[in-house]
Structure 1
């Protein structure tokens, strides 16, 4: 269940940033500082990579997912407070998703590790 929630959340991020790029073109996020703009565009790649890694039950997806969501809420809350231009709805929902990520990372880590151990053990038995 947690795995599905992670994938859905990161695919929502993928969809949001992709739509922004399609609709905003080369000047997407034009009213924001260049570093923020670059970060948000980079999420168009990082979010789907995270989703795929989580679907494949790779621990790297957990690490990447935590890094992405923590950085994303840090950037978005900073922008929200200092510059404006972001909605309450977005920053609150994203923060709730971050809580979910942080609360479920350990159970996913354990679950993913068990599958990895089984997969590594099976070829050894066949040999």
Structure 2
């Protein structure tokens, strides 16, 4: 959830400082995706916070699109200077967070689904 809220803040900052042209370096479809993340990221965070079983799969789809968009934009630069992307900002943390979300989506969905099947709230640590 925190990662998606950080993403919301980052995309909000870029929109506030760069306007609609904040992502001019990217193809139009990737620009649209990056702008849509300003809405999708907080929606994912809300779904996870509310314990919705569909939240983890939605989170995985959003992160997969985000990671693919970022890698497609950076690919030629990565091939030219691969070590430049081994820093704690930008592509590396986005990729690591994306891998984390993809690896945990199904186990978290199973946990949330089993919680939603329980009748008593005390049996489930997640909010309903």
Partner of 1:4: none
- CA separation of 1:83 and 1:29: change in aligned 2, threshold 3 A: farther
1:35 corresponding residue in structure 2 = 29
Distance 1:31 1:98, change over 3 A: closer
Residue aligning to 1:94: 94
Separation (CA, whole Å) in 2 of partners of 1:73 and 1:45: 17
Contact 2:57–2:106 (8 Å) recurs in 1:
no
**1:82 positional shift:** 3.5
Counterpart position of 1:71: 65
- Name the TM-score, length of structure 1 as normaliser: 0.80
Q: Secondary structure at the match of 1:59?
A: coil
Q: In the superposition, relative to structure 1, how do residues 77 and 55 fare at CA in structure 2: closer, same or farther (>3 Å)? A: same
RMSD across aligned positions (CA): 1.7
Equivalent residue number for residue 125 of structure 1: none
- The structure with the greater share of residues assigned to helix is 1
Question: Across the two proteins, how many residue pairs are aligned to each other?
Answer: 112
